Amino acid sequence: MPTVVRFVGEIPPAASLKGRGGVVLGTKASLTATNVFQYCKAAISPAGEVSETDFDDAVGSLDSDSAEHLPIVGKWASVACLPVTCSRNNCSARPDTVKALIKGALKKKNSVVVIVAPKEHFLALAAAVIRSAPAVYSLKTSADETQYEILVTLVEISAHKAVGVFGDDLCHSLTLAAQGIRLAQRLVDAPPNIMHTDAMLEECYALAACPVPDGKVSIKVIRGEELRDQGFGGLWNVGMAAPKPPALVILSYDPTDATADAKTICWVGKGIIYDTGGLSIKSKSGMPSMKRDMGGSAAVLGAFSAATQIGSKDKKLRAVLCLAENSVDSIAFRPDDIITMRSGKTCEVNNTDAEGRLVLADGCHYAADVLKADVIIDMATLTGAQVTATGKKHALLLCNDVAWEQLAVASGLTTGDMVFPAIYCPELFMDQAFTSQVADFKNSADDRSNALASCAGHFIEANLPKDYNGPWIHVDMAAQVAEAELATGWGVMLFLRLFNYV
């Protein structure tokens, strides 16, 4: 059974540490602040196992600027010290160090994690703790069937003093965010013979059927030949060779009594259930891990599940999932085919392994044209070029609006789901990269050394309706979707923070 992560304002009593372990997480400066032990006592000393002197001695022995885990009582009570060194493009909470510090302490037991930090670090450290929990998905025959629980509490540090524990509202929202992150992790880690297009649709229907505290969620599905007949040339061609047909899923959330100026926000996710590369087939070493090519849709679904439970009166939320399996078959689309996108533009296919932009182009066009979205953000494991451009910890951001670009960067630094802007210059890249002699454009850039991740994003943008003047945000999180062969749930917190759900 998967471990449950829950945020609480007050740590419930336990008989002893043997029934529930405890970890206190923070920088040395935070851990040595006044009154910290009093707020941590229920976690690491439920029956008096650790004295305040024991705690102070342990914290005092820590290095002030290194990532260090120090047991106080065996594996049951410990402190985890965060580094403070941080450059301007990194998250100052240093969530990148958390999993290595505490994952061992959370293994195969009920646990409490006390985050001791300034409140501006809470979101990033909360997300990092969620990701440190044992993996959600496993088919190991030796898997432990016990359902463990990790409780997390947030102690605010201000002026070198512990000033209180954050209460029910934030804890409720973070618990819902944890469920969203864990959902995204489960979907990405599941194998494609189980988490196929039909199974993803079942997940969407199940989410739509869940009661929400305010308003309602509805679902619409366009599938198979309906996609072809309604002009979704990108999504249909990519998925038509698979035994389970492609689908466009539209989830809509409308709050009751939405404000008169409520904007429609649309999150679009790439959902390539498995990517063989199609006829431009991937290599033996390049194909394994392609079950994760639906990581964008998984993040959208996880964030949507949390957002609809948290609620908001000032926005209407839409989620569009572009689901397909890029397969090899006698009817698979081919290099040299010319397909007509939903935008009406024609595309000469020169690489069937550049399929993500085709499905997202149709999805984003639908978001603008039919859903009348005021803001569109698409998220995808789109290019191998992403990791070259922005690295393993920062997803690539492409945005047509400076203010939204800055908001996205700030939201990433706040949550730890970091993004970094790529070159935004469609007038150069579209003409240079995708020129076709027989169609409006090709789907893959001929010059492999010319900002490929930006080019891929601009292809999606080029298919937006000409009269769409709103913000468009593209996030390529190819390298962030997994770490050490397990899904991270990356993107859920970015969505929730960027649109003020947390």
Neighbours of 167 (CB within 10 A): 12
Helix or strand holding residue 221 (H, E): strand 216-223
d(CA 68, CA 78) in angstroms, rounded, equals 10
Taking the alpha carbons at both ends of the chain, their separation in whole angstroms is 28
Region of 485 (left: φ > 0; alpha: ψ -120 to 50; beta: rest) is left
Distance CA 3, CA 236 (A): 38
* Catalytic positions, written as ranges: 282, 357
What's the DSSP call for residue 88? T
Q: For residue 397, what are the contacts with CB-CB under 8 A and spacing of at least 6?
A: 405, 408, 409, 419, 420, 421, 422, 473, 474, 475
Sheet bearing 346-348, strands edge to edge? 338-340, 346-348, 441-442
Q: Which two tokens stand for residue 457?
A: 């994003």
How many Å separate Cα 148 from the centre of its chain? 23
DSSP conformational letter for 62: S
Query: Which residue type is seen at 199?
Result: A
Coil/strand/helix, residue 56: helix
**229 Cβ partners below 8 Å, 6+ apart?**
none
- DSSP helix/strand/coil, 291: helix
CB 381 within 8 A of CB 295: yes
Give exposure, 65-85, as e/b (b: 16+ Cβ within 10 Å).
eeebbeebbeebbbbbbbbee
β-bridge pairing 346-348 and 216-223: unpaired
Q: Phi and psi dihedrals of 115, rounded to 5?
A: -90, 120
Structure tokens at 468: 């769409």
- Token pair 């076709």 is found at 436
From 184, 81, 72, select the one nearest 493 (Cα to Cα): 184
Q: What are phi and psi of 69, to 5 degrees?
A: -115, 125
Q: Dihedral, CA atoms, 159, 162, 163, 165, nearest 10 degrees?
A: 140
Q: In this structure, what are the phi and psi dihedrals at residue 62, rounded to the nearest 5 degrees?
A: -75, 150
